[in-house]
């Protein structure tokens, strides 16, 4: 992590800000944060999005479903599914 420069940090900050705005705009719910690493940047952040107790998937151009993860095309940000509060799994 010591090799990460301020430009990379700013890029990650922008990704988080973008996703927070997206979540608010679409009235989604942010649940538990985890420490998932973005392999391309060596930086970690993620969150779980559920709508009506189900993991959120979208046809919106920045998101695509890939196994158990939602991959955000904006700044290589990664969102992973956590524990569903309805099922505990």
User: Which tens digit of pLDDT belongs to each residue from 33-50?
Assistant: 433 333 343 333 344 444
- Rounded CA separation 10/16 (Å): 10
How sure is the predictor about 73, in pLDDT bands with cuts at 50, 70 and 90?
very low
DSSP state of 79: E
Bridge partners of 43? Answer: 38
Distances (CA, A) of 4 to 10, 38, 41: 11, 12, 8
Does the pTM of the predicted model rise above 0.85? no
């Amino acid at each position: 992590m010591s090799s990460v420069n301020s430009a990379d940090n700013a890029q990650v900050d922008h990704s988080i800000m973008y996703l927070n705005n997206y979540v608010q705009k679409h009235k989604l719910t942010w649940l538990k944060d985890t420490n998932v690493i973005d392999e391309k940047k060596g930086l970690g952040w993620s969150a779980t999005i559920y709508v009506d107790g189900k993991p959120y998937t979208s046809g919106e151009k920045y998101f695509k479903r890939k196994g158990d993860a939602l991959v955000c095309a904006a700044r290589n940000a990664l969102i992973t599914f956590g524990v569903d509060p309805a099922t505990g799994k």
